[in-house]
């Protein structure tokens, strides 16, 4: 009697589990997060990755593609109805159509589902049918990860920190000037709150353009459909203990808390905690071209961005994750086609060094990490050009500014990344050795063979690291 009830219960339990689990079990999904600071190359990366998984002729370093284990790949409706779809077709048309051009900047979360049909592998290969894997790719701004630190702060703490930084920054002069006329204890007045928020946002924008990374709240710079709403209409004010109910200070404090609860937490809950694999794209070359301060800022920003992957530090995130973690994180220096391949090892060493601290921490938290230099869409060809008795390794492409073809030598990256990172850390204002030049190339006109995706550098290696073990 007891036995049979138990057995029945067990069967029923399995049954009800069955519906949800079987879909999970037989058609597993893998969520790949793609992030990086503004202009790091997220959109081009996703577009080219998907195009190269649909047409796998250039994916020889992806074992499942080379061995023919991927039977087919196709786009499907994504599972999340409220997240905008990644505009794959538009971006691909921009990059590979006639008169190719780079896609527009994208400033919010978007998602795309690519489904793969796979042949079984191993000893049972002959006995099993094919299986499916859904790859859900999520594009989100790296700036949003910086907001995690706000969760641990009160409005008073945040304001104090920001207001301490501002006097040293020229771009903050306008906001500080406005503050001198503000009495935080007076009754809240919406036009005044809006003026303060606008001036503070203008400062954040200028600070970001000047290369500073500590530009939280992140959504002030990328407001999307929250633009103009109260959660984005606040600014730091010095604490005023005389400010009572209904005062400007109290309302600002309330909105700061609302930003944390209604903007920051939902992003982590709905997007971040579901990610299985993560790629963090870094435009290290642009930072090197801009000089030591930009490199140091990038290094610090990477540390802060990646703090999110060490959730032990943040109680909110730890409780959300409940032991789940990102399994693999790839740090990729993008736009490697600006360099001749002779310089790629140096580029890889730099990205390794730039993300070392963050990687050590992630490894400590159990994620497997790797670093490499890649180009999602190769816009150049290589050539050696004679110069003062030796040959310089150059790249050639169509210049974005004039549309003309030009060969270009970006300068020699040092073998030891410390030669760049040490002066950056010590506050140098320009590079003593070497001079690094920036060049913007337009995407090349392509004539793709059937079965080939767009040309890239090491995108297949990136894919092997990120998803190869599940194919
Ligand atoms: N040469 C070259 N340039 C690239 C490559 N990937 C990106 N770029 C350049 O970097 C710019 C930014 O790339 P996106 O993919 O739009 O970057 P993003 O991170 O999505 O940028 P936001 O949406 O503004 O945050 C492009 O407009 C190109 O100029 C690449 O593989 N090769
Ligand atoms: Mg983008």
Q: Checking DSSP bridges between strand 131-139 and strand 110-118, what pairing results, if any?
A: antiparallel
Name the residue among 375, 466, 395 with its Cα closest to residue 95: 375
How far, in Å, from the CA of 402 to the mean position of ligand 2?
A: 24
- Per-residue tokens: 68: 């023919």
**Residue 217, preceding peptide bond in cis (omega within 30° of 0):** yes
User: 420 pLDDT exceeds 80?
Assistant: yes
Phi, psi dihedral angles at 36 (to 5 degrees) = 160, 160
Name the residue among 377, 282, 348, 297 with its Cα closest to residue 36: 282
- Taking CB atoms and a 6 Å cutoff, what residues make up the pocket around ligand 1? 36, 38-44, 102-103, 105-106, 141, 334-335, 337-338, 375-377, 379, 440-441
Stretch 18-47: mean pLDDT, rounded?
80
Model pLDDT, residue 130: 85
Name the residue among 471, 463, 469 with its Cα closest to residue 32: 463
Q: Atom of ligand 1 at shortest distance to CA of 104?
A: 16
Residue with CA closest to ligand 1 atom 7? 41
- Per-residue tokens: 379: 């816009």
**Please, are residues 34 and 137 in contact by the beta-carbon 8 Å criterion?**
yes
Residues with CB under 5 A from ligand 2 (ion): 42-43, 106
User: Minimum mean pLDDT among 170-174, 202-206, 295-299: which range?
Assistant: 295-299
pTM, full prediction: 0.88
DSSP code for 50: H
How far, in Å, from the CA of 43 to the mean position of ligand 2?
A: 4
Best of 48, 102, 454 for a ligand 1 pocket test (most atoms within 8 Å of beta carbon): 102
User: 6 pLDDT exceeds 70?
Assistant: no
Q: Atom of ligand 1 at shortest distance to CA of 375?
A: 31
**Residue 378, preceding peptide bond in cis (omega within 30° of 0):** no
User: 363 pLDDT exceeds 50?
Assistant: yes
Q: Atom of ligand 1 at shortest distance to CA of 39?
A: 21
Residue with CA closest to ligand 1 atom 26? 102
User: 169 pLDDT exceeds 90?
Assistant: no
How far, in Å, from the CA of 151 to the mean position of ligand 1?
A: 30
How far, in Å, from the CA of 282 to the mean position of ligand 2?
A: 13
Tens digits of residue pLDDT in 62-112: 999 999 999 999 999 988 888 999 999 999 999 999 999 999 988 789 999
Residue 34 pairs with which residues in a beta bridge?
139, 279
Name the residue among 191, 205, 181, 31 with its Cα closest to residue 107: 205
Which DSSP helix (H) or strand (E) runs through 252? helix 248-259
Q: Atom of ligand 1 at shortest distance to CA of 440?
A: 29
Q: Atom of ligand 1 at shortest distance to CA of 441?
A: 1
Residue with CA closest to ligand 1 atom 21? 39
How far, in Å, from the CA of 110 to the mean position of ligand 2?
A: 9
Name the residue among 167, 147, 174 with its Cα closest to residue 158: 147
229's CB contacts (< 8 A; 6+ apart) are: none
Stretch 378-385: mean pLDDT, rounded?
94
Name the residue among 387, 466, 385, 333 with its Cα closest to residue 49: 466
As a whole number of angstroms, the distance between CA 291 and CA 287 comes to: 6
User: 323 pLDDT exceeds 50?
Assistant: yes
Q: Atom of ligand 1 at shortest distance to CA of 106?
A: 23
Which DSSP helix (H) or strand (E) runs through 183? none
Best of 37, 38, 43 for a ligand 1 pocket test (most atoms within 8 Å of beta carbon): 43
Stretch 48-67: mean pLDDT, rounded?
97
301's CB contacts (< 8 A; 6+ apart) are: 37, 142, 146, 213
Residue 370 pairs with which residues in a beta bridge?
330
């Amino acid at each position: 009697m007891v036995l049979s009830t138990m057995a029945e219960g067990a069967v029923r339990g399995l049954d009800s589990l069955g519906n949800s689990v079987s879909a999970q079990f037989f058609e597993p999904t893998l969520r790949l997060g793609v992030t990086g600071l503004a202009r790091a190359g997220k959109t081009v990366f996703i577009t080219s990755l998907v195009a190269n998984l649909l047409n796998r002729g250039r994916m020889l370093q992806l074992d499942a593609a080379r061995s023919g284990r991927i039977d087919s790949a196709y786009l499907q409706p994504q599972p999340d109805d409220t997240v905008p779809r990644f505009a794959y077709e538009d971006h691909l048309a921009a990059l590979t159509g006639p008169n190719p051009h780079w896609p527009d900047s994208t400033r919010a979360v978007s998602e795309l589902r690519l489904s793969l049909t796979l042949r079984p592998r191993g000893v049972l290969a002959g006995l099993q049918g094919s299986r499916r894997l859904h790859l859900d790719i999520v594009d989100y701004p790296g700036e949003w990860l910086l907001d995690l630190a706000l969760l641990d702060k009160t409005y008073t703490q945040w304001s104090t920190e920001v207001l301490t930084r501002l006097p040293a920054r020229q771009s903050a002069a306008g906001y500080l000037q406005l503050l001198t006329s503000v009495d935080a204890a007076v009754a809240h007045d919406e036009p005044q709150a809006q003026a303060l928020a606008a001036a503070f946002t203008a400062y954040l924008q200028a600070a970001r353009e000047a290369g500073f990374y500590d530009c939280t709240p992140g959504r002030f710079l990328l407001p999307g459909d929250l633009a103009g709403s109260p959660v984005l209409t606040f600014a730091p004010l010095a604490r005023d203990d005389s400010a009572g109910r209904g005062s400007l200070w109290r309302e600002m404090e309330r909105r700061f808390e609302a930003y944390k609860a209604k903007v920051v937490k939902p992003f982590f809950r709905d997007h971040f905690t579901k990610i299985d694999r993560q790629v963090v794209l870094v435009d290290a070359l642009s930072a090197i071209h801009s000089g030591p301060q930009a490199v140091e800022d990038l290094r610090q920003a990477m540390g802060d961005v990646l703090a999110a992957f060490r959730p032990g530090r943040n109680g909110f995130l730890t409780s959300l994750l409940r032991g789940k973690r990102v399994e693999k994180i790839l740090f990729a220096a993008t736009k490697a086609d600006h360099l001749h391949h002779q310089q790629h090892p140096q580029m890889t060493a730099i990205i390794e060094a730039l993300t070392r601290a963050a990687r050590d921490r992630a490894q400590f938290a159990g994620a497997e990490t790797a670093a490499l230099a890649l180009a999602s869409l190769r816009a150049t060809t290589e050539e050696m050009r004679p110069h003062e008795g030796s040959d310089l390794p150059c790249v050639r492409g169509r210049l974005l500014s004039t549309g003309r073809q030009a060969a270009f030598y970006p300068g020699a990256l040092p073998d030891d990344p410390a030669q760049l990172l040490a002066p950056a850390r010590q506050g140098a204002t320009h590079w003593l050795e070497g001079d690094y030049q920036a060049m913007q190339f337009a995407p090349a006109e392509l004539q793709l063979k059937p079965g080939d995706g767009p040309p890239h550098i090491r995108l297949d290696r990136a894919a092997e690291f990120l998803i190869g073990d599940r194919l």
